[in-house]
Structure 1
């Protein structure tokens, strides 16, 4: 981890023409390495901190090309709301651009099935999938179509369509990993239970959809105004400690002095 972070810091040191040592302190509000985007948030925060500390003051789109070198998903995490990661043609133009501020009653209920670090990291799992799964090319091809479709749905603020595309895309990703040699299985029994619970809610007329990263934990995309009700209904299957409501993120920002003091940090 130290070597990985040092290489990441060097991207900024080399750009700024400095060799200063850096002390990194980080706190996660979600379990680390459990498929809940802890690496995305961590490297987005670290990119923002280095951008400020080195005086480079790059705009967020340019900064996203650096954040990507730490974690692909960190590219998008610099911004709030819905964000597109444009694959580009090189490290210079593979960047994130904001799509929509997501200020239209959209949220998520996180079901923490297993808070432990997963045995196969996202990076290792994807590498194995790319190299050995015959389903991978089809997933990539369909992802191009899904991206265009979901951008149209977001623009129209069509929550049902956004949810359908999101759920289908997540299942296709896991399907491609199941086709790897040896199959990569992130699902746990409670992951399956969560998926069936969400389908049961839909059958009752509550619009909510499943999405999963490379890990066992399940995210339920829903209207933020219904998140509390959905959480209560999910308590039939999961404990209070396993359920967390989240609205759209706001993107990176500096800590306030009061927030830093909570961690005994000095700004």
Structure 2
């Protein structure tokens, strides 16, 4: 029983930071994201009766099974399928891992898609829904992973006992481009999961962030429905900066930006002041993502490429949802 799947990472425009239930890895708030077609993760899952435990090989290196997340995901599939075999999971990212580019989101989205196919549980046949069942299993590994199950623009809603994820717009329905300025390829020192726990306990801004978040999320949905790029630009940048204010006021402070990140922010604001349709967003890491209309892609790419300290540029359109590529 073997299958391979590809998924793309995503970048949240209306972000989540914090857990409603840490044990269940349930986000405290919903989120809205873009799926990044220029980056991808390919994962192969093979259930093998000879294995005595699950095995993860990431970019050619066997990994410790951190906090049991992978095994918990596989246990959920084993329970659904009535299977008692362990799995060998092989994952390859074509972009930096653990550096603020949502590698865990694409990794777990690809994992659940491949595992479902390997067990013959493709959702149309088994009743597993990608928006609920697969999303809840993917969420065990990464709170952002359900969004990478979908292409284009995705909405993750938090419900009483789980999550619901759906697509708001396909890449064709609202063509947008994303330019990623890679400022370092080093792993971040504090993981998002650990950082969120610290913020909840110590940031004086955390309660306000949670309290006001629904307003941002609902406004973001309206912007997408209206295809209002400039309203979304203002909202997304403000939401990003609010999230980072929570991080920065955490004790000890979570300073995920680098000087190059800040220089890229200034460059994007300068471009927009000159009439270029572009805005920035930054997740828990130093990489800046510039979202623009397709006609501005070449201009934005060239401008960020010239920022001193930028290692490389990854530019492209919105991507599709997670998909099986081999069985």
TM-score, normalised relative to structure 2: 0.75
Aligned pair 1:121/2:186, yes or no?
no
For 1:102 and 1:56, the matched residues in 2 are separated by: 27
Structure 1 residue matching 2:168: 3-state secondary structure: strand
Tell me which residue corresponds to 1:73: 144
Structure 2 residue matching 1:246: 3-state secondary structure: strand
- Which deviates further from its counterpart, 224-233 or 214-223? 224-233
Is the CA contact 2:98–2:188 (under 8 Å) kept in the aligned structure 1?
yes
Shift of 1:241: 5.0
Q: 2:287 aligns with which of 217, 222, 237?
A: 217
For 2:310 and 2:191, the matched residues in 1 are separated by: 27
CA deviation vs aligned residue, 1:177-235 (integer Å, no higher than 9, x gap): 11111111101111111111111111211121110111111000111221122111222
Tell me which residue corresponds to 1:263: none
Matches within 5 A, 1:74-223: 74-91=145-162, 94-103=163-172, 104-223=174-293
75 and 132 in structure 1: CA distance in 2 versus 1, 3 angstrom threshold:
same
Task: Structure 1 unaligned segments of length 5 or more: list them.
Answer: 257-266
240 and 167 in structure 1: CA distance in 2 versus 1, 3 angstrom threshold:
closer
- Superposed CA RMSD in Å reads 1.5
For 1:178 and 1:108, the matched residues in 2 are separated by: 26
- Which deviates further from its counterpart, 94-103 or 172-181? 94-103
Shift of 1:102: 3.6
For 1:4 and 1:234, the matched residues in 2 are separated by: 36
Q: 1:23 aligns with which of 63, 72, 88?
A: 88
TM-score, normalised relative to structure 1: 0.91
Shift of 1:54: 1.7
Is the CA contact 1:105–1:225 (under 8 Å) kept in the aligned structure 2?
no
Is the CA contact 1:84–1:97 (under 8 Å) kept in the aligned structure 2?
yes
**Higher helix content, 1 or 2:** 1
Task: Structure 2 unaligned segments of length 5 or more: list them.
Answer: 1-63, 123-127
Shift of 1:239: 7.1
Structure 2 residue matching 1:84: 3-state secondary structure: strand
Matches within 5 A, 1:41-80: 41-57=106-122, 58-61=128-131, 62-80=133-151
Aligned pair 1:245/2:310, yes or no?
no
- Structure 1's consecutive aligned runs of 4 or more residues displaced over 4 angstroms after TM superposition are 238-241
For 1:131 and 1:90, the matched residues in 2 are separated by: 23
- Which deviates further from its counterpart, 207-216 or 222-231? 222-231
**Higher strand content, 1 or 2:** 2
For 1:69 and 1:6, the matched residues in 2 are separated by: 10
For 2:323 and 2:210, the matched residues in 1 are separated by: 33
For 1:41 and 1:56, the matched residues in 2 are separated by: 20
Is the CA contact 2:183–2:311 (under 8 Å) kept in the aligned structure 1?
no
- Which deviates further from its counterpart, 247-256 or 153-162? 247-256
Structure 2 residue matching 1:117: 3-state secondary structure: coil
Aligned pair 1:236/2:306, yes or no?
yes
